[in-house]
A and B are shown apart, each in its own frame.
Chain A
């Protein structure tokens, strides 16, 4: 199984297996990655699963869609490759993916 690395704002790394059929937010929650709350359970309603995708991976995993965009646009920590991880359906093609966490979730 592929592996994704979540890098905290302080630079701490948390690796987690990429389980197909789950969202990246669920992968983080399943593996107790600190800094990903997923308060709304994956409805893109809360903005507490914000990740910043490593620009090298941006093409592979895609940019934020319109629903995410609405929530992210008000976020001062927002970067060009920001995503709501609940809207990212995990793919095995993502082995080695690195995402950065913001300092604060919404």
Chain B
């Protein structure tokens, strides 16, 4: 069946790709994308980088231009979906209207995790997930002001680099004993801490935020142990929470994310899901994984569209990620979960480019490549194809 209405909830990376892929795969019926942001589907990765730095406009962030959707007869609707009524095959909107569907796609993404401390709702406390978030940060990010960033993950560190470039006084607070603790080896964390300190950022690890203080707007950040840091603005980057409430309320299987199979189907086979909101049992890892990755969102969306059009595609690509901080490009191939050995090519304690290869039982499973696109291209291919590679060969890639 490629007739009838395919309704996509979420005008995200996944949602935009899914709608386009439906046309590519031959969906002849209506394609509708419902999103609650008043903008064309746009790229989120530049939000903490070029967009925060004022180097790109919202128009430039658009994944595709307005006339693409018109030409492909993809209808974009700015509305908030409140619930899914599976028996009637329709979604209810916040304004009381409803929209019917024959096939439904959930691309609801995630939202910034809130900081669970007193004062977190004060004006001047920002999160970073949408273009409006960033516009608010930009308004208060005047040179010389003091910005405190809560969270030393990728978003926090990218934001620190961008705000530093704008001339702010920047402090990064990380609760763990090193930045990027969940995702990289200690050597890579140490590299990034040094990089930021060299750029004039204060990095405090083991720093637990207890409260945010201020009368009409945030003025200070209070840490466990009693320290108080003055702040003109606070940016919180402590991870995202998948938007799974719609799916859960509709009785779909949810386990951290909306559970999907290799064809991107949820537990209701008329409903697919793609992107940050999903949890997928990855054969490669032997466990459910919820990825926060644009390339994965794109792949899941393409597979989901094929599935809705009755074609057979499978989610199989190797996850990969990237992060730009200052003039350095980090590219990450694979997930390093369970690594038992690292091989360093280059010296992160003094070089500006290096690769940290992660091995498990002697096999390459992941790589963090800093300004080493050649190592990245090699790793992505080698891991995806499951090829064996000797330690010595890893060190030789950059020189080849």
Q: Which residues of A contact B (CB under 8 A)?
A: 29-30, 32, 34, 37, 39-41, 43-48, 67, 70-75, 106
Contact = CB atoms under 8 A, between A and B. Distances in A.
A56 B295 CA distance: 33
A70 B23 CA distance: 34
A34 B125 CA distance: 43
B223 to A, nearest CB: 36
Nearest to B64: A30
Contacts of A106: 377, 380-381
A45 B374 contact: no
Given A39-B294, A43-B322, 8 more contacts: A37-B298, A67-B373, A70-B377, A71-B377, A72-B377, A74-B381, A74-B397, A75-B377
User: Size class of B's contact patch?
Assistant: 20 to 34
A74 B378 contact: yes
A41 B294 contact: yes
Interface in B81-108: none
Given A30-B65, A45-B331, A40 B377 contact: no
Contacts of A40: 45, 294-295, 322
Contacts of A74: 374, 377-378, 381, 397
Contacts of B331: 45
B64 A29 contact: yes
15 contacts: A30-B65, A32-B23, A40-B45, A41-B63, A43-B322, A43-B324, A44-B373, A45-B331, A45-B373, A46-B320, A73-B377, A74-B374, A74-B381, A75-B377, A106-B377
A48 B329 CA distance: 17
Interface string B37-70: 0000001011000000000000000011100100
A45 B24 contact: no
Nearest to A42: B43
B294 to A, nearest CB: 7
B315 interface: no
Nearest to B377: A74
A32 B20 contact: yes
Interface of B: 20, 23-24, 43, 45-46, 63-65, 68, 72, 294-295, 298, 320, 322, 324, 329, 331, 373-374, 376-378, 380-381, 397
Contacts of B64: 29-30
A47 B374 CA distance: 11
A11 B374 CA distance: 29
Nearest to A75: B377
Contacts of B381: 74, 106
A32 B24 contact: yes
B257 to A, nearest CB: 20
Contacts of A71: 373-374, 376-377
A70 B373 contact: yes
Contacts of A72: 377
B72 to A, nearest CB: 8
A44 B324 CA distance: 12
A45 B322 contact: yes
A34 B24 contact: yes
A73 B322 contact: no
Nearest to A66: B373
A39 B298 CA distance: 7
Given A41-B45, A43-B322, A75-B377, A30 B294 contact: no
A71 B43 CA distance: 22
A30 B294 CA distance: 18
Contacts of B397: 74
Contacts of A45: 322, 329, 331, 373
A27 to B, nearest CB: 11
A40 B298 CA distance: 10
Contacts of A34: 24
Nearest to B323: A45
A40 B380 CA distance: 14
B80 to A, nearest CB: 26
A50 to B, nearest CB: 11
A28 to B, nearest CB: 11
Nearest to A38: B298
Contacts of A32: 20, 23-24, 72
B50 to A, nearest CB: 9
Contacts of B320: 46
Contacts of B68: 30
A41 B46 contact: yes
Q: Which of B23, B64, B373, B381 has the most CB of A within 10 A?
A: B373
Contacts of B65: 30
A74 B23 CA distance: 33
Contacts of B43: 41
A39 B170 CA distance: 31
